[in-house]
Structure 1
Amino acid sequence: MHAVHIGRHGGPEVLTWTELPDPTPAPGQALVRLGVAGVNFMDVGARAGGAPGWAAPTVLGVEGMGYVTGLGDGVENVAVGDRVAWFYHPGSYAELLAVPADTLVKVPDGVPDETAAAVMMQGLTANHFTTETYAVRPGDTAVVHAAAGGVGLMLTQMIKARGGRVIGLVSRADKAAAAEEAGADHVLVSSGAGFEGRVKELTDGAGAHVVYDGGGSATFRSSQLSLRLHGVHAYYGPFMGVPSLSVTDLPNSILLTYPTVQHHVPTREALVTRTAEVFRMVQEGHVSPRVGGRYALHDAAQAHTDLESRRTTGKLLLLP
């Protein structure tokens, strides 16, 4: 089989199309033939060397869907022939994968392959953000950074499904339409700080209930100044820089949280429950992932280049 491999950390040029031995499923694992792999900023951080736990050499990728072709001993929750998806399995940029079966979920018949792959990482992230990180209620106002990106579009749709109001931030005017199509009530063009004044105007001076901030250090302070009394700053931009602060710098008695990937679905039960919620929202029409680019698996370097350039909107997918 072939996989997208890195021998060292660096730019997109370190991604190589490499032939590797076919994996054999160990006890508790399923052998899966890749159908679609998702591309995430986490992958960029892993490639560049900025993501903990990703030592080179390695195969990149964490998310995707595929078809079970074999089983290790003791696997009962999936069978050969099942369509399955996974939220986090390192090494997902590969034609074949040996995946722990308890990290797999079955894909409902009404959910297409590309949709299943596109909603795992970013859909489960948005689900966690809009429930446990901050439980969006009808009438709440949320500021969504990178509202035309994969997570941003998912967040916007889920916030609207819960009755919330969305102020979306996009880096360029040509991305505004994507955020508006997802349901954003207002879209502001901002590539850095300085948007807090407009947020306050749009909320009659009160500020937002929650800011979902994946913009990095440059937007950190403005996100906090956009919040109302006891508002929630959900910061998830570690690969864009992690700012330092004094707790006395926090305005309006706001709450600061750093929701991490490991906490989106910390248990098998949470994985099954939250994935079912996301798939149900897809089937009911509340969530519809926007595919911003399709690439052959061996062209993963181009996908990374495009993602880092900020030229893309929506979800990027790799097809074997």
Structure 2
Amino acid sequence: MYTHFKFHSIFSLGALLLYFLSGQASAAQTEATCGTGDFRTFFQQFAANQVLQQASIATPLTLQTLSDDLPLKIKLQQLSASQRPSTLVPHPEQWAKLGLIPEWVPPSTVVLRGHQGEYLRTFVFKRQSCWVLKRVEDWTLGDPELITNAGTQPNAQQCLRRAQAYERLGSTEQTSSTQALFAAALDSYLCAAEAGSLEASYAAATLSLSGQAPRLQDSRILELLEIAAQKSPEAALALSDFYCTASDYETEHPCANPQQAAQALIAAADMGSADALNQLGYAYETGTLVEQAPSRALACYTSAAGKGSARAEKNVKRLATKGVPSSEQIKCIQAGRQP
């Protein structure tokens, strides 16, 4: 009995040790083929380890790309194991060098985008027994390969066209990448602005202020609007409004910088903007931004009405009903160039 009991105990200890070692091997195997349970850490491993990457891709893999012709349309493919690319994600060690920014979208989606909007891919994972890549959304425009190069000067027209395409896609396609599309549009507009595009400077400021893309610092928005306002009446009008509101559009308060706002408004009117002429007329009528002068207000309204503004035409009739005299000697811009 004693001998039998001793043999049984030794057998139990051996089985327990075997079970423990087997569990360790299983855990090590799971770590190698599944990665860690934390998603952010897992994606870093996924990008760095080709074996793990290929083991963590669903079959079939849904690949979303864009058509080469205009207007851009979404194309969907179901890729078998033999059809999918050997490398889907740049190695994490390259991200900083290539200017790639990872953004985490709960619960298990990663958006990887270039700092100038030149690269944009979304990776959608699902948690099964391991993390599995189910879908790749490739929004990159132009060359499908990564084209970020810190030594290359940005091309204003390329960046501008890319920004406009991203903004259109963000407005028409509701996907998990919609917010990223607007962010990439802003990055691309800024790329074009830095390369000298005044159109892109205005577009970047307005997109940032729209709430669809990330909000730039007020100082940066002001800089973009001031640059664009040199030749764009729309930008000068937006600059006038920004001087007044100081970016606070929800609270009613007196104009924060009336003199600068008036100068920008007059510049916009001088460039022929009907809206700016109408707003300048209102400023002269009410005494906001500039000294009150009803006759000058009428001159501004009349100029705006002549450019097709229906609202200004109503304002002309309203002031005429009030008895405000009309005089060809009083000109809107010449009379009010200096606020």
Sort the TM-score into its range (normalised by shorter chain): under 0.3
Q: TM-score, with normalisation over the residues of structure 2?
A: 0.26
Structure with greater contact order relative to length (CA < 8 Å, sep ≥ 6): 1
Work out which of the two has the higher radius of gyration on C-alpha atoms and give 1 or 2. 2
Q: Which has the higher helix share?
A: 2
